[in-house]
Structures are given as C-alpha cells and as structure tokens.
Homo-oligomer: A and B are copies of this chain.
Amino acid sequence: MRAVVVHGAGDLRVEERPDPTPRLGQVAIGVSYGGICGSDLHYYRHGAVGDFRLREPLVLGHEVSGHVLGGSGFEPGTPVTVHPATPCRSCPECAAGRPNICRRARYLGSAAHFPHVQGGFSDVLVVAADQVRPLPDGLAVRRAAVAEPTAVAWHAVRQAGDVRGRRVLVTGAGPIGCLVVAVLQAAGAAEIVVTDVHSRPLDVARAVGATHTFTVGEREEVEADVAIESSGSPAGFSTCLRSVRRGGTVVGLGLLPPGDAAIAANLIVTRELRVVGSFRFDGELDEVLPRLGGLAVDPVVTAVLPVARVAEAFELAGDPARSCKVLLDFVTMG
C-alpha cells in the first residue's frame, strides 16, 4: 500500500509499505479521503509539533474516512470514519470525565509517544474496533473526512455555553474557524462575526454562515457575548479579550506558539472575563456524525488532490491565502 510518510522537516514521501493485517479487536479500513491538519503541516515543515519531535518516520494523518476491509465487528464495505484518540481511561483527567485532555492519550499520526503512533494517510489503516464509526445513511464518505475537525469545533462551541441568540466573534477563518462558524450557525447563534488577516478565508466563512466579516485592522472591536479564538495567534487572542462584553466568555481553541504570548490579559481581571480552553474532543464525534449531512461544511473543503500530488496538497494546505481545508484523495489514481 501507499503511505504518506514524513522523515524529517521538509522530507515528505509517498512510500510503498506492506498492507497491515488487523489483529483480534482491530479493523482494517480502506482509506478514501484524508484531511490535512495543522499538525500534519507542522511535522512536514518543522519535523515537530511543539515538544513532540520526530524520532522515526511517521505516517501522517488523523482525519480520514473510507470503508471497512475486514476485522472485528463490522461488515466489509461499511463506510466509516475514525476516532483518532485512545485515552488511558485511568489518569485523573480521564477519571474526571475529560478524556480529551488525558495526559497519556495516544493520537493517530503523532510523535508524542515513542514508538510513534502511525497515522491514517495510507491506503489501509488498522485501528481498534472501538475507534471505528460507521457513517449514518446518506452521509457521503468525502464529507465524512471533515467529521474529525467538525468535532473539534463542536467541542469548542460546547465550551462556550449557550450561544443561541448570542453575538459570537470568531478570530481566524482557517479550517477550524470556518467549521466553528458552521457549528455556531447550527447551534442558533444570532450573529457570527469573523476576522482574518486574509480576505479569501472570509469568503469561506460567509459561505458557512458568518453574518459579518472583517479583515484584521478593518475594525477592531465588536461587543460580542462570546469569542472563539481560532487563529492561534496572540493578536487574535487579544482581539477576543478586547471584544467580548464585561463578564463575557472567550474560548481559546487555536494552538498558540509555545512559551509566553503577549495578550491583553489585564482585561480578564478588570472585565471579569471567563476564558476557557478547548482541546480536541471526546464524544462529540458521535454527536457530529448524525448531523454532518445537515451542516453547511462543504465550502470548507477548497481542494481535493490525489495522493500522487501530496507535495502540492501540503503546499496548498499551508497557504491560508489560497486554501481552507485540503483533502488527500486515496481513491482516484492521479
């Protein structure tokens, strides 16, 4: 089978590998589509994500959809997607009902552990049966490739509290920011204001439900009830802090650079804000799947390229001025 393997910073290869065989309790999946995520881009560009540094070649990818080839408990041919996380179920966070922040979680396509947890950008992916999610009737396999990042957005909106009838600011119109917009719209937000440094991502944001969009600098502040920081930049974080009303809520979702970030933290105190992080998700994937057919997420996918064009796909995915979510297509021979 083909696999998309990163060997170090800038060294991304499509390799032939033997097809893996599922053991008891495992399922083999023929992968159809895989979405390129920010962490995939980080491994590709820097050979690392935060403190997690490549120590051996790593198959990238954790946003995948496809069909069951064989294994435990699923009919071959069943269209599926995959829950990429395996929490430990015993640490204090898991015991507290928060496996999304499990301190020992394993995640598809991640160098956090050694040996690394190999990812899903390959023709065949073998995972534990309890990570497999059959698609509801009528949900296209291609759309299911965005189920995972939509679950990330879903969790972030949960962290925000009741958004019905509220004015919500979203800073950053990348794939996650735009999926947050789609989820906010479905959750009944009254106004969804989106900012980005580029203008093209704002077109996507409007297509998925933003009611007002601004490029950064155009307009500094709105009095929002809630802000969801999806840019991963300190400037975006400060915009959120400055833009919510006194007593309002800011959800920190975009991954900030490690170390200190200069943000308007004094406003947390003087305006008595509530700032909550949002990291990955847990059961939200199961909540998203039955509703994904009804969510306006298609405009988020701005390109689908065959695996053979993986370098081009990664370049495109890494340029927010030109693209939003980019999918790798393992079906079409390219």
Contact = CB atoms under 8 A, between A and B. Distances in A.
B272 A276 contact: yes
B272 A266 contact: no
Contacts of A246: 92-93, 98, 101, 103
> A interface, by DSSP: helix, strand, loop or mixed?
mixed
A269 interface: yes
Contacts of A273: 276-277
Interface size class of A (residues with CB under 8 A): 35 or more
Nearest to A254: B269
A334 interface: no
Given A101-B246, A165-B287, A186-B188, A272 B262 contact: no
A278 interface: yes
A98 B97 contact: yes
B190 A287 contact: yes
A287 to B, nearest CB: 3
A189 to B, nearest CB: 10
Contact of A275 (B98, B186, B255, B268): B268
Contacts of A50: 270
Interface stretch (A114-122, A154-162, A310-318): A154-162
A259 interface: yes
A233 to B, nearest CB: 11
A264 interface: yes
21 contacts: A92-B246, A96-B247, A98-B272, A101-B271, A103-B246, A164-B186, A165-B290, A187-B187, A188-B291, A190-B290, A234-B260, A252-B268, A255-B269, A258-B266, A260-B264, A261-B265, A263-B263, A269-B278, A270-B277, A273-B276, A273-B277
Interface of A: 50, 89-90, 92-93, 95-101, 103, 154, 157-159, 161-162, 164-166, 186-188, 190, 234, 237-238, 245-247, 252-279, 284, 286-288, 290-291
